Amino acid sequence: MPNLMEISPFAYSVVMLYSVILIKVFTGYLASHEPLQFFRLFCDQLAKKVNKSKNTDRQRFISGLIAILVSLTPLVIILWLFEAFVEATWLWQGFLLYLALGSLQLGKTSKEIAKLIVANKNFEAKQLLNPWLLRNTDQLSSLGLAKSCIEMLLLRAVQNLFTISLIFLLFGPLTALVCRLLIEMHYSWNNKQKSFQPFGDSIAFIVNIIQWLPSRIFSLILLFGCIGKNFVLFYRLNRHYFFQLNNSYVLNLFALSLEVKLGGVAMYQNIKLRKASYNDHGRQPQATDIIHASKRISQVFYFCFLFLALLTLFIYSFNINR
C-alpha cells in the first residue's frame, strides 16, 4: 500500500507541518526554550571578530557578506549530506522543521505583558519583553510597551511562523531552516543598530526578499478579514506600500485594522531612530490592544490551517481515486 508521500507530497508536507506545530506547542508548555539560541550566540561572537568600527563602510559591508557565507555554507552542506545517512527521513525532516519554526508561546507571553502593564508593573513588563526586542526598553512608557509588543508579535509571527511554514511547503525543511537562520542573522546584525549599519545591510536585503511574498499573502488574508469594515478604505490607504521591500505594508495594514498608531521613534543602542509611522490618525495603543492584536494574528493562522486542511483532503482524495 503506497504511503502518504507517494500519494501526495503536498498532503505529506501539510501533515508534517501540523504534527511539528502540535509537538512544538506541547514542548513549549513543558519548558520555554529557543532551539536556535546557540546560533544567535555564534552570530554575536562572529560579529565581534569581523565587524570592526575602524574599517570603512565598504569593508564592513563585504565583511557582512562573507559572514553570511561562513556561517551558512558549512552548516548547509553538513545537514544536506547527513540526510543521506538517516533511515527515517520523515523524522529528520520533522527535526529540521522543528528548528526552523519560531516560538509558539508569544501569544501567552504577550498576554502576561498586557496584564503587567494594566497592573502598572512596567519594570516587570520590560523584563519580559526585552529578550524579544532590539530597541531599548528602559525609557518606554506603558503606551510604548504596548506598541513595541504589538509590533514584535506581528513581525515574529510573519517572519518566524508564516514565512517559514510557506517556504517549508514550497521548498522543503532544509530551505526553511536556511531561511530561519538568515532571519536570526538579521536579528543579530540588524542595521537599525548603528554598529551594524554597513555590516548588516546585506542580510537585511536578503531577509526582505525572503519575506516579501509571505508577508503580502499574510496581509491580504488580514485584509479580507476586514470585509464589511472599511475594507475598501484600508486597501486604498495601504496599496502604495505593496511593492516596497520592507515591512511597511503589513505594519500599516495591521495598525489600520486595530485602529492604533504603530511605528515612529524608537531607541536602538541608546540612539534615537525616527522610523516610519503608521496610521497617524489612530489612537495610541493600550494594553488591551495587545490582546486584540494576538487574536487578530491567530485568526489569520486559523484560516490558513483550515484552508490547508481542506485543500489537503481534496488533493489526497483526488490522487487516491485517480
Q: Report pLDDT for 7.
A: 63
Q: What secondary structure letter does DSSP report for 264?
A: E
Q: How many domains does the chain have?
A: 1
Q: How many CB atoms lie within 10 A of CB 271?
A: 12
Residue 320 has pLDDT above 80, yes or no: no
Q: Report pLDDT for 6.
A: 60
Strand 271-278 vs strand 262-268: parallel, antiparallel, or unpaired? antiparallel
Q: How many CB atoms lie within 10 A of CB 251?
A: 26
Q: Report pLDDT for 9.
A: 84
Tell me if 287 is assigned to some domain. Answer: yes
Tell me if 2 is assigned to some domain. Answer: no
Tell me if 3 is assigned to some domain. Answer: no
Tell me if 137 is assigned to some domain. Answer: yes
Residue 107: enclosing H or E segment and its boundaries? helix 106-118
Tens digits of residue pLDDT in 247-285: 999 999 999 999 999 998 888 888 888 888 999 889 999
Tell me if 1 is assigned to some domain. Answer: no
* Dist CA 108 CA 142 (whole Å): 19
* Dist CA 103 CA 105 (whole Å): 6
Tens digits of residue pLDDT in 6-61: 667 888 999 999 999 999 999 888 877 788 989 999 999 999 999 988 889 999 99
Q: How many CB atoms lie within 10 A of CB 307?
A: 11
Residue 161 has pLDDT above 80, yes or no: yes
Tell me if 219 is assigned to some domain. Answer: yes
Tens digits of residue pLDDT in 187-240: 999 999 988 989 999 999 999 999 999 999 999 999 988 877 788 888 898 999
Tens digits of residue pLDDT in 285-316: 999 999 999 999 999 999 999 999 999 888 87
Residue with cell 488533493: 315
Tell me if 116 is assigned to some domain. Answer: yes
Cβ partners under 8 Å of residue 242, min gap 6: 216, 249
The pTM score is 0.94
Nearest Cα neighbor of 258 from 236, 281, 276 is 281
Q: Which residues constitute the domain of residue 269?
A: 8-320
Q: Report pLDDT for 3.
A: 63
Tell me if 223 is assigned to some domain. Answer: yes
Tens digits of residue pLDDT in 105-153: 898 999 999 999 999 999 999 999 998 998 888 888 999 999 999 999 9
Q: Report pLDDT for 322.
A: 66
* Dist CA 235 CA 318 (whole Å): 36
